[in-house]
Amino acid sequence: MSRLLTLLFGRLPIGWLQLTHSRGRFFAAVAGVAFANLLVFMQLGIMGALNGSTVAPYAMLNADIILSSEDGNTLTDDGHIARARMYQALGVAGVIDATPLFVGNLPFTLEDGSAVSLLSFGVDVTKPQFSTPAIAPKLGQLTLESTALLDEGTRGMPAEVIDDLMDGVRFEFETGGNTLTAIGTMEVGGGFLADGMMIMSDQTFLRVFPSRTSGAPNHILVRTADGVAVETVVARLKDALPSGNLRIQSMEASAANDLAYMATERPTGIIFGFGVFMGILVGLVIVYQVLSTDVADHLREYATFKAMGYGQPFFLGIVFEEAIVLAVFGFIPGFFVSMGLYAGLVSVTGLPVEMDASRAILVFLGTLAACSLSGAIATRRLANADPAELF
Amino acid sequence: MSDAPITTRNLDHFFGTGDARKQAIFDINLDIARGSLTILMGPSGSGKTTLLTLIGCLRDVKDGQVRVLGHELNGASEAVLVGLRRRLGFIFQAHNLHESLTATQNVTMGLQVHGRGDAVKQRKAAHHVLDLLGLADRRDYLPGNLSGGQKQRVAVARALVSNPEIILADEPTAALDKESGHTVVQMLKSLGKARGITTVMVTHDPRILEMADRIITLEDGRIISDELK
Ligand SMILES: Nc1ncnc2c1ncn2[C@@H]1O[C@H](COP(=O)(O)OP(=O)(O)O)[C@@H](O)[C@H]1O
Ligand SMILES: [Mg+2]
């Protein structure tokens, strides 16, 4: 290691030798950096899962534009608009099709007595073109009264039920005084929004949500003609439709807004953002503490080097070398322990917590930057190394 | 001024400001001959260290002149001072070796200040000087595993390895027992003589005085005697 670094720097790797000379301190510092990495990885992992589950329902839908009420903040929030907007929208150039979308949360008590909530979507089953290809062919079965497709990843649902459903065995259950029959599955992944999801016909939806009416869906989905820019149609719709309590945006924009809302306005998003911040802060403080103590402990040696004619760049080089060593050696265990914890989280919560390469690279670069910043602050102590005081 | 490697003219130095301002040395005029061993003596607080740090470019010269290796220090830029320091060798009372570097690595630091170099050559040069100082079998020891005298000899090796033109040493033997102190200075002197190094050393050791070419005694910041041997 030392040889390699000598070759790399063209000088002795003093930072490396100095750090590893006091083993206890070195391991404490590495553990500190690893811990900070772990904090950041966990927060980012959960935040990623939060984001993933925020936009997961969009993956079921196949539309270009969504009309929503301004009362609702996201796709799955309350707030409805008049069905009449759908007919108005159909009259706008570039719009080829439109359909209402109903959304509601259905509480459901499992056999073991635990309560789960199922995010339920009511769709017009005669318009499968508004669903993704994986779901569209199954919509025909939902014309049967009181039937639904159940999310495979529904939390708390016994594995046999899902397995049976996949094998074509129906599953009947009570919810709010109504009996529903799950006749098939779909793959969405619930995550933070609910324990699971369901799709049913708009008729079934209105039966299980008696307070809702067919004249007031949550959203209206719009498909545009090929060759017309979605944004152009959005602009036309904005011109044509009455502006009161109506939000018109592309599906992409709607998903992006949902993400931004969850990340910055909802307490969960803020808490996880704060967690990342805390992780970075912990790392900064630990590395600063280690490096500045290290500089203070070696002031005499540094002063001697100054007397010998070494200049400021040399000393900065040592401190940054130490910072980079700590970043690299702290990141490696931090990364692997995080991978382990991610796997644990997935098996316990079913949340889509995944390590992706871009996150790993981002955290590594962040670690390098934070360590360098700490190093830069620690170098201020170098000014205390006065060679005239040595004699 | 003469062409001596070290000359001083009307050199004063003050510490502190305002009421605390105190003069440490007064009107020092010296020409130190090339290749000589000059000993500075005098009671504690007489200004020996102050004089040495001024010559060694470790303190700014403000009143009077000091010329080292042809450069005037009064008003010299930091770059000139750093450049000069690289041509000097310092030996301190404490060895100030780097605890995490081996003897060889510590000595190598005396070479690397001159820039990137051939690592193999540098190690050879360090070994050579360590061998001359009787440390051939201690090359790869960390300072923690060396005796006081051995550490100070490593410090001497570090000062000598880059072939300095001047060596400045401030009580290099004060922390050592008589025997090893004597060995260190003996080696310093013979290597210095062989290489034509100008050496200025602060010491009280009477046995070392016998080896000196010139003995200068300070008292209260003034030269009170200056004898050539
Ligand atoms: N850094 C300093 N600040 C203030 N006064 C100093 C400083 N260094 C030395 N002095 C004073 O200068 C005088 C000479 O000190 P010094 O050169 O260290 O003497 P010596 O080395 O002969 O013992 C003393 O009176 C000492 O108190
Ligand atoms: Mg002194």
Token pair for residue A35? Answer: 């811990």
| Highest-confidence segment of A241-245, A271-275, B36-40 | B36-40
Q: What is the pLDDT of residues A103-126, one digit of tens each?
A: 999 888 877 777 888 899 999 999
**What is the reported pLDDT for A199?**
95
- Please tell me chain A's helix, strand, coil percentages from 3-state DSSP, rounded to the nearest 5: 55, 15, 25
**Ligand nearest to the CA of residue B47, numbered in listed order:** 1
Indicate the residue of A17, A21, A391 with minimum beta-carbon distance to B170. Answer: A391
Q: Quick one: average pLDDT of A219-246?
A: 92
Token pair for residue B28? Answer: 């020092």
The number of angstroms, rounded, from the C-alpha of A226 to the middle of its chain's C-alpha atoms is 32
CA dist A293 and A296 (Å) reads: 5
Hey, what amino acid is at A186?
Answer: M
CA dist A301 and A385 (Å) reads: 9
Q: Which atom of ligand 1 is nearest to the CA of B50?
A: 17
pLDDT exceeds 90 at position A72: no
Give B219's Cβ-side CA count (13 Å radius): 4
- A contacts of B90 (beta carbons < 8 Å): 304, 307-308, 390
**What is the reported pLDDT for B140?**
96
Token pair for residue A26? Answer: 């070195």
**What is the reported pLDDT for A188?**
81
Q: What is the mean pLDDT of chain A?
A: 88
Per-residue CA distances from B166 to B5, B8, B175, B227 (Å): 8, 15, 23, 20
The number of angstroms, rounded, from the C-alpha of B131 to the middle of its chain's C-alpha atoms is 21
CA dist B84 and B71 (Å) reads: 8
pTM attached to this predicted model: 0.75
**Ligand nearest to the CA of residue A388, numbered in listed order:** 1
Token pair for residue A181? Answer: 């029959």
> In angstroms, what is the span from residue B22 Cα to ligand 1's centroid?
9
Residue B27 zone, left/alpha/beta (φ > 0; ψ -120 to 50; rest): left
Residue listed under structure tokens 């390699």: A4
b/e sequence A100-116, b meaning 16+ C-beta within 10 Å: bbbbbebebebeeeeeb
Q: What is the pLDDT of residues A126-181, one digit of tens each?
A: 999 999 999 999 999 999 999 999 988 887 777 788 888 888 888 888 877 788 99
Band (pLDDT 50/70/90 cuts) for residue A189 is low
Identify the bridge partners of residue B30 per DSSP, sorted by sequence position. Answer: B8
**What is the reported pLDDT for A191?**
67
- A contacts of B167 (beta carbons < 8 Å): none
Between chains, do B90 and A308 touch, taking CB under 8 Å as contact?
Answer: yes
Q: What is the pLDDT of residues B92-149, one digit of tens each?
A: 888 889 999 999 999 999 998 887 678 889 999 999 999 988 999 999 999 999 999 8
Give A364's Cβ-side CA count (13 Å radius): 15
Q: Rg of the Cα trace of chain A? A: 29
B85 CB within 8 Å of a chain A CB = yes
The side-by-side arrangement of strands in the sheet containing B214-219 is B88-91, B166-170, B198-202, B37-41, B214-219, B222-228
CA dist A373 and A385 (Å) reads: 21
Name which residue leads in pLDDT, A38 or B209: A38
Q: What is the mean pLDDT of chain B?
A: 91
B47 touches ligand 1 (CB under 6 Å): yes
Strands of chain A (E only): list them: 65-68, 95-109, 115-123, 147-151, 171-175, 178-186, 196-201, 219-224, 247-250
Between chains, do A308 and B86 touch, taking CB under 8 Å as contact?
Answer: yes
Name which residue leads in pLDDT, A78 or B157: B157
Token pair for residue B76? Answer: 């010299």
CA dist A178 and A146 (Å) reads: 8
Disruptive mutation site among B15, B85, B100 for chain A (greatest number of A CBs within 10 Å): B100
**Residue bearing the CA closest to ligand 1, atom 12:** B24
**What is the reported pLDDT for B1?**
52
Between chains, do B116 and A301 touch, taking CB under 8 Å as contact?
Answer: no
pLDDT more than 70, % of chain B: 99
**Residue bearing the CA closest to ligand 1, atom 2:** B15
**In this structure, are residues A316 and A295 in contact, taking their beta carbons and an 8 Å threshold?**
no
**Residue bearing the CA closest to ligand 1, atom 6:** B15
Q: What is the pLDDT of residues B164-208, one digit of tens each?
A: 999 999 988 887 788 878 888 888 888 888 889 999 999 888 878
pLDDT exceeds 60 at position A374: yes
CA dist A286 and A302 (Å) reads: 22
Give A184's Cβ-side CA count (13 Å radius): 14
Number of Cβ within 10 Å of residue B177's Cβ equals 11
Nearest to A33 by CA among A258, A286, A378: A286
Q: What is the pLDDT of residues A31-55, one digit of tens each?
A: 999 999 999 999 888 888 888 888 8
Nearest to A331 by CA among A373, A261, A279, A376: A279
pLDDT exceeds 60 at position A190: no
Identify the bridge partners of residue A181 per DSSP, sorted by sequence position. Answer: A147, A172
**What is the reported pLDDT for A378?**
87
B46 touches ligand 1 (CB under 6 Å): yes
> For A128, which DSSP code?
G
Q: What is the pLDDT of residues A262-284, one digit of tens each?
A: 878 777 778 888 888 888 888 88
CA dist B153 and A100 (Å) reads: 90
pLDDT exceeds 70 at position B2: no
